[in-house]
Structures are given as structure tokens and as C-alpha cells.
């Protein structure tokens, strides 16, 4: 935070503290009742056997996943919004999420459950993830190929939207011809899932999102230049096509990886960058990048806590919580500040 205002440092520190608190709260609060002391004992290996499993195999992986996925999706959304200079852009506009969905649909809906579940167990935990990754990757390659040919970034956006619609149509068609069990598997995947992720999978998720985040952080200067328009960026020496390709790759890696492991966590990528801009009152990506990442983690951790409906034993899909709690917050911020248009 060298050379920045004390207010900014304070806000950033506050956010870090908030994320840490929410992380701890996510461990303490679950859908079963367990007192705080027992959770802490379990965490350090001194709890009851049942308690230890619940804390170390259920709550901890879920909290870590929320932390990573929230940051990754939000930064991916921020990159998209700046790249397209469009406040409605998000990780899903390029069809990366749809591509991941197509990969999952291909595995879940076309292969019968019998086949999928007897096709060698080593594959299964990773089957859906790899399929989603492949789907997201394929879309990313198409978009980058288009982007390399097109001068105008808006054309890329439109082609991305068309691609996403086409993929959705194919998925609908597959849903139409599949049975109830397959449909349920697919629909539950689309609702988002933070829980059923093992530690080796978390490691893979962490590594791939780290790669995406590092690339994004290295791109803060060209991103700032882009806010002033492509012509200006060129005059200050930003090589547009190359920058665009790097940003698209970063955003796709982030969104594709998270979608592969957790399903499409839609709303967070569009909304959190706005929350970040409004909290920090700046469009400077040097501040926004870490700020938005922290906000994203906080929002997803909070959504996860709410989705477990503390103590009741039931659960609601995390995606619905993110949208239903996030929309009023964003509305409140936007209406309080007379709109977000001026910031683009």
C-alpha cells in the first residue's frame, strides 16, 4: 500500500479482517449444531471423531473453496467489465460458463448414469470437473481465435454472446432427451456447489486460479490504460491484441476453473466488481484488483453461511443465496450513489 492514502489502507485492512472473520464464522456455523470450542478442538485434531470429520471434511474444504472461488469469479468479472467497457459484462458473457456446462451436460446427460458410475471409479470424482474444464477451454480458444482477427472488441463480445446462446440451446436439447435422474444431476450442478470438493481437487482449483490471478495482477497497468479507451491505450504503447488475449485467457482460466469445480456461480462475477468500485471509490486497478478479490471472498463466504440455514439441517443452493442477498445490496449501493454509469 506504499504511497496510498491512509483511508485506502484502512479499508483494505478492514476487508481482510472481514474475510478472516467470515472464514472463521463459516467454520463455526454449519447446518448441524456444534459449539465453538468443539469446532476449534476438532480443527486441531482433539475433537470427537464425528466432530473432526464434520469440521475437517465438510466445513473447512467448503470455506476454502468459497474463499478461492469468490475471489476468482469476482476478478474474472472485473477483467471482463474493463475489457469490454461494459458494466453488465461478467465471466459468463464469453460463453466460458456455458462451455463448462456443455462439457458437464455431455458427461451427465448423454452417458447413462449406469455407464458413468461403473466406468472406473478413479475417473468419477474428476469426470465432471475435467469435462467442464475441457468445455470452458474449448470456448476460450474459439473466443481468442476470434479476438485475434477482430479489431473491434464489441464484435468479440457479440460473438461470445452468440456462442453462449448456441451452447445453451444444445444443452436444452440434451436435457429434453434425457431422463429424470440425469436431469436432476445436471440441474443440481447448475445450482452451484461448494461442498463436495476433496483436498486434491481444492489444490488443483487453487493452482489454476492462482495462475489466473497472477496474470490478472500483472495486467493492472494496461487495464488502467484501457479505461481511457483503446485509442488512448495504443498511444501509450499498449499492444491491444496481445493485451486482450492475455486478459481473455486470465478471465477464462479463472471462470472456467471455478465453474468446473463449483458449477456456474453466476451473479458474483457481475455484481462484486461494482461493490468493489463503490467501496473504494476508484477505478484504479491497482486498488481494485485486490479489493474486488477480497469482496468476492467475503460475499461467497457469507452466502455459504446463509445457504446452510444455520442449525436447521437443511440447505439451499448457494447460487440462489448469492443472487437473492446480493441484488438488494447492489441496488442499495447503486441507488445511493446515483448510478454506476459515470464510472465507465
Partner 1 sequence: MAVTVLLWSCGHGGSPSNLTETVTAYAADRFTLEEMNGYTKLTVRDPWQNAHGTELYWYLLPHGAAVPEGVEEEQVIRIPVRRIICMSTTHLAMLRALDATDLLVGVSGPVLVYDSLILDAVSRGKIMDVGYEGNLNNELIVTLKPDVLIAYGVAEPAAGNTGRLPALGVKVLYNADYLEEHPLARCEWIRVFGLLTGREARADSLFREVSEAYLGLAEKVRNGNPVRPDVLLGSPWEDVWYVSPANSYTGRLIEDAGGLYLFSDLSEAHSVPFSVEAVFERATGAEIWLNPGTAESLADIGAADHRMTRLPVYTSGRVWNNRNRMTPGGGNDYWEGAVVRPDLLLMDFVSIIHPELLPEHRHYYYKRLQ
Residues engaged in binding partner 1 (CB under 8 A):
30-32, 50, 53-54, 57-59, 112-114, 117-118, 121-125, 176-177, 179, 181, 184-185, 188-189, 193-196, 198, 263, 308, 313-318
Residues 6 or more apart in contact with residue 40 via CB below 8 angstroms:
none
The least distance separating partner 1 from the CB of residue 176, rounded to whole angstroms, comes to 7
Which of 193, 243 has the CB closer to partner 1?
193
CB of 43 to partner 1, least distance (A): 15
Please, which residue, 86 or 116, has the CB nearer to partner 1?
Answer: 116
Shortest separation between residue 139's beta carbon and partner 1, angstroms? 23
Q: Nearest distance from residue 175's CB to partner 1, in Å?
A: 10
In terms of CB distance, is 155 or 196 closer to partner 1?
A: 196
User: Around 128, how many Cα atoms within 13 Å sit in the side-chain half-sphere?
Assistant: 26
What's the CA gap between 205 and 210, in Å, rounded? 8
Q: Are 287 and 268 in contact (CB under 8 A)?
A: no
CB of 291 to partner 1, least distance (A): 29
Query: How many C-beta atoms lie closer than 10 Å to residue 311's C-beta?
Result: 12
Please state the closest distance from residue 114 (CB atom) to partner 1, in A.
5
Query: 83: closest CA among 208, 211, 216?
Result: 216
The conformation of residue 54, written as its DSSP 8-state character, comes to I
Rounded to an integer, what distance in angstroms lies between the CA atom of residue 161 and that of residue 168? 11
Q: Which three cell numbers stand for residue 62?
A: 467448503
DSSP states along 118-158: HS-HHHHHHHHHHHHHHHHHHHHHHHHHHHHH-S-HHHHHH
CB-wise, 170 or 183, nearer to partner 1?
183
Give min distance, CB of 125 to partner 1, in A: 5
For residue 240, the number of C-alpha atoms closer than 13 Å in the C-beta half-sphere is 19
Q: Which is nearer to partner 1, 152 or 180 (CB)?
A: 180
Q: Closer to partner 1 by CB, 173 or 331: give it.
A: 173
Shortest Å distance, C-beta 328 to partner 1: 24
Q: How many Å apart are CA 307 and CA 30, to the nearest integer?
A: 9
End-to-end CA distance of the chain: 24
As a residue count, the chain comes to: 344
Q: How far is the CB of 30 from partner 1 (least distance, A)?
A: 6
In this structure, how many other beta carbons lie within 10 angstroms of the beta carbon of residue 6?
A: 8
Q: Return the number of the residue (118 or 235) whose C-beta is nearest partner 1.
A: 118
Nearer CB in complex with partner 1: 2/314 = 314
Cβ neighbours of residue 11 closer than 8 Å, sequence gap 6 or more: 279, 280, 291
Residue 54 or 246 with smaller CB distance to partner 1: 54
Amino acid at each position: 500500500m506504499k504511497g496510498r492514502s491512509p483511508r485506502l489502507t484502512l479499508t483494505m485492512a478492514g476487508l481482510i479482517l472481514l474475510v478472516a472473520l467470515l472464514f472463521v464464522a463459516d467454520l463455526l456455523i454449519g447446518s448441524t449444531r456444534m459449539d465453538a470450542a468443539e469446532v476449534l478442538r476438532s480443527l486441531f485434531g482433539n475433537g470427537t471423531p464425528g466432530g473432526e470429520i464434520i469440521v475437517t471434511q465438510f466445513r473447512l474444504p467448503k470455506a476454502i473453496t468459497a474463499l478461492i472461488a469468490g475471489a476468482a469469479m469476482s476478478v474474472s468479472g472485473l477483467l471482463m467489465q474493463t475489457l469490454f467497457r461494459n458494466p453488465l459484462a461478467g465471466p459468463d458473457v464469453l460463453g466460458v460458463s456455458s462451455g463448462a456446462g456443455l462439457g458437464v451436460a455431455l458427461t451427465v446427460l448423454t452417458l447413462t448414469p449406469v455407464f458413468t458410475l461403473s466406468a472406473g471409479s478413479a475417473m468419477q470424482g474428476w469426470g465432471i470437473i475435467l469435462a467442464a474444464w475441457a468445455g470452458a477451454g474449448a470456448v476460450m480458444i474459439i473466443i481468442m481465435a476470434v479476438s485475434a482477427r477482430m479489431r473491434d472488441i464489441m464484435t468479440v463480445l457479440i460473438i461470445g454472446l452468440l456462442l453462449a446462446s448456441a451452447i445453451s440451446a444444445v444443452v436444452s436439447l440434451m436435457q429434453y432427451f434425457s431422463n429424470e435422474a440425469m436431469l436432476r444431476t445436471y440441474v443440481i450442478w447448475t445450482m452451484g456447489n461448494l461442498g463436495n470438493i476433496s483436498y486434491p481437487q481444492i489444490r488443483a482449483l487453487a493452482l489454476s486460479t492462482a495462475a489466473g490471478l497472477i496474470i490478472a495482477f500483472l495486467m493492472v497497468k494496461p487495464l488502467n490504460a484501457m479505461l481511457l479507451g483503446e485509442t488512448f491505450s495504443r498511444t501509450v504503447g499498449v499492444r491491444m491484441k496481445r493485451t486482450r488475449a492475455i486478459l481473455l485467457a486470465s478471465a477464462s482460466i479463472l471462470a472456467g476453473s471455478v465453474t468446473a469445480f463449483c458449477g456456474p456461480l453466476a451473479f458474483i462475477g457481475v455484481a462484486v466488481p461494482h461493490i468493489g468500485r463503490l467501496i473504494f471509490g476508484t477505478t484504479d486497478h491497482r486498488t481494485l484488483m485486490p479489493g474486488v478479490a477480497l469482496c468476492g471472498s467475503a460475499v461467497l463466504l457469507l452466502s455459504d453461511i446463509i445457504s446452510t440455514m444455520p442449525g436447521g439441517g437443511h440447505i439451499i443452493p448457494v447460487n440462489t443465496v448469492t443472487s437473492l442477498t446480493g441484488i438488494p445490496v447492489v441496488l442499495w449501493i447503486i441507488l445511493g450513489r446515483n448510478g454506476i454509469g459515470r464510472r465507465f
